[in-house]
Amino acid sequence: MKLDKIVCHCKRVTNGDIKTAVEQGARTFAEVQEKTGVGRGCKRCIDAATRVMEDCIEELQA
Ligand code: FES
């Protein structure tokens, strides 16, 4: 995963920002949103951001 890739253009949130939120304990989209602001604009990124979050959680648990 490219950490500097922007997943949410409205709020300029990158894959790396989501990864950091997961590393800090976020386990639901709401918690990731709380920490990053992801998906608070047009909401078109929500599916993609959710997948990134799930990948990061899986990675941590591997
Ligand atoms: S791209 Fe994330 S809210 Fe618009």
Domain with 26 in it: what CATH number? Answer: 1.10.10.1100
pTM of the model: 0.95
In-domain check, residue 1: no
CA 38 to ligand 1 center in whole angstroms: 7
Confidence of residue 4 (pLDDT cuts 50, 70, 90): very high
Residues 6+ apart with CB under 8 A from 1: 15, 19, 52, 55
Amino acid occupying residue 20: T
Instruction: Return the higher-pLDDT residue of 62 and 55.
Output: 55
Atom 1 in ligand 1: residue holding the nearest Cα: 8
What is the per-residue pLDDT across 7-44, written as a single tens digit (0 to 9) for each?
999 999 999 999 999 999 999 999 999 999 999 999 99
Domain total in the chain: 1
| Structural domain boundaries enclosing 55 | 6-61
Look at residue 62 in the predicted model and tell me its pLDDT: 85
CB-side neighbour CA atoms (13 Å) of 27: 4
Look at residue 16 in the predicted model and tell me its pLDDT: 98
The DSSP secondary-structure symbol of 13 reads E
H-run or E-run covering 55? helix 46-61
